[in-house]
Structure 1
Amino acid sequence: MQRFEGYAVLITGAGQGIGEATARRLASEGARVLVTDLDGERAARTSATIPHSAPFACDVADRAAVEATVAYAVEHFGALDVLVNNACACTADTPLFEDQPDDTWQRDLDITLTGAFRCARAALPHLAKAGGRGAIVNIGSINAEADFGNHAYSAAKAGLASLTRTLAADAAPRGVRVNQINPGTIRTPAWSGRARQLDALAGLYPMGRVGTPEDVAAAVAFLASADAAWVTGTTLRVDGGLMAVNTGFARTRSFNDA
């Protein structure tokens, strides 16, 4: 089904992982995709394998770079219909909270939250011209909802959920929808070399596995498409049921019942 025939899409952090899978999914449904990444060479390698796509280096922490990226998308495709804010930064916590330095805290917020703001600000005027099919999909995290570590990253993702709601209200009269996806653990290159940890985490998920980038890409495709024409300001969990069930407690309850 070609739900995105004629659509022009910009995806940040699309050189690998969730962003790459999303680019592939939307392109497979007819979209023309601007594959952006901080690493321009990685964006180019990924774009070379995706039909109807083009690469562009973009640092979402740089306002001028973001505005140049959006301008290129509009020039290259003739329009912009969908923005997917996927770029993020996640710095490991210090052993003691009080040792967290300002620079790493600021970096996570600047890329993960303010970067999405910069992209939305630059894209919104163009999305508003998309004839009612304009959409922004923000990639959040279940870290926004509960403690899974990473103070700065979690705070940034929680802020992104708030921005999703407030921007949805602001953009709705202009025909632009804004939604967020909160994934659980996803098997991406960020987990490279930690297969045992991923296997251990799988047991915590009611569905018995961690997620794949394609799981998230499918959700993005729904929220970005006309199938979600009356959905805005919402956050969709793509987490294998993790936030719905305390798996450890459920196992203890089953043991006690036995």
Structure 2
Amino acid sequence: MQRFEGRVALVTAGAQGIGAAVARRIAAERGSVIVTDLQQDKIDAVAAELGPEHALAVRVDVTQRADIDAAVAAGVERFGRLDVVVNNAGACIVTSPPEETTVEEWHRQLDLTLIGAAQCIQAALPHLLETRGNVVTISSVNGLAAFGNLEYSAAKAGQVAMTQNFAARHAANGVRFNIVAPGTIRTPNWDNQPGTLERLATMYPLGRVGESEDIAAAVAFLASDDAAWITGLTLPVEGGILLGPNPLNLTDRKG
């Protein structure tokens, strides 16, 4: 498929995992990608893999509006336009029990996961209005149901509400806003927790955790013209976990 030929996407947290998979998928479909992250060496490697004619690596801290503005400007200068923003930056960074979370911890979580996504939309919006582009934000099933990590979950739920409001506000302008809400995804974040993904896999009705490519495929759909009549949607990509845990390992039963 060549759904992104002639189009340009900005992907945050593109150094590895979901972000890198999204960048690869868009480039594979003939798009150009502005790959951003705090880890300059890793985004340089991703951009080199995609090819200099199709990728630009820019170091960005999404909590800093000046960084985002600079990345958008550099990408537009390089490629001439901006069609897609993929808000992937975010992390579960609060470890205190929710009854003890400090204001500073709340700010760190919200500044990265929710306000960072909002700032990326604000910086890109003038260009998206010109191209009738779209935004896909990577939220989480934590924003849809109670899976713990209260502060992270609240930030992810905020992304959903933010997306719906932007979608309603700019539908008449032809700019779309959608959400992909992953379940557990095999990323480098789990590398130091041996056995955890295998244990979590047993909870999923489809019998496995997700791969970054599962999320990239959903993002590519929502960001493409195949989803031209979809806005304000939250698309769970979660192996059926929202149906309820699978404590009986029903996927192992035959017949």
TM-score bracket for the superposition, by shorter chain length: over 0.9
Matched residue, 1:103: 104
Matched residue, 1:195: 194
Matched, 1:40 2:35: no
Q: Tell me, what secondary structure is at the counterpart of 2:185? A: coil
The aligned runs of 1:57-136 (5 Å cut-off) are: 57-94=59-96, 96-130=97-131, 132=132, 134-136=133-135
8 Å Cα contact 2:94-2:152 kept in structure 1? no
| TM-fit CA distance, 1:92 | 4.1
Q: Tell me, what secondary structure is at the counterpart of 1:10? A: strand
Q: Tell me, what secondary structure is at the counterpart of 1:129? A: helix
| TM-fit CA distance, 1:104 | 2.1
Q: What TM-score results when the alignment is normalised by the length of structure 1? A: 0.93
Task: List alignment gaps of at least 5 residues for structure 1.
Answer: none
After TM superposition, which residue ranges in structure 1, 4 or more long, deviate above 3 angstroms? none
Matched residue, 1:166: 165
* Distance in 2, Cα, partners of 1:250 & 1:193: 26
* Distance in 2, Cα, partners of 1:97 & 1:181: 26
Q: Tell me which amino acid in the other structure corresponds to 2:219.
A: V
Q: Tell me which amino acid in the other structure corresponds to 2:215.
A: V
| TM-fit CA distance, 1:249 | 7.2
Equivalent residue for 1:56, pick from 54, 58, 62: 58
Identity score, percent: 50
Q: Tell me which amino acid in the other structure corresponds to 1:43.
A: I
Matched, 1:23 2:23: yes
* Distance in 1, Cα, partners of 2:33 & 2:158: 27
8 Å Cα contact 1:58-1:66 kept in structure 2? yes
Matched residue, 2:239: 240
Matched residue, 1:10: 10
Q: Tell me, what secondary structure is at the counterpart of 1:248? A: coil
Matched, 1:184 2:186: no
| TM-fit CA distance, 1:89 | 2.3
* Distance in 1, Cα, partners of 2:183 & 2:32: 28
Q: Tell me which amino acid in the other structure corresponds to 1:97.
A: P
* Distance in 1, Cα, partners of 2:84 & 2:203: 34
8 Å Cα contact 1:91-1:150 kept in structure 2? no
| TM-fit CA distance, 1:28 | 0.1
* Distance in 2, Cα, partners of 1:234 & 1:250: 30
Q: Tell me which amino acid in the other structure corresponds to 1:188.
A: T
| TM-fit CA distance, 1:40 | 1.8
| TM-fit CA distance, 1:102 | 2.1
Aligned length: 249
The aligned runs of 1:213-252 (5 Å cut-off) are: 213-248=212-247
* Distance in 1, Cα, partners of 2:5 & 2:16: 23
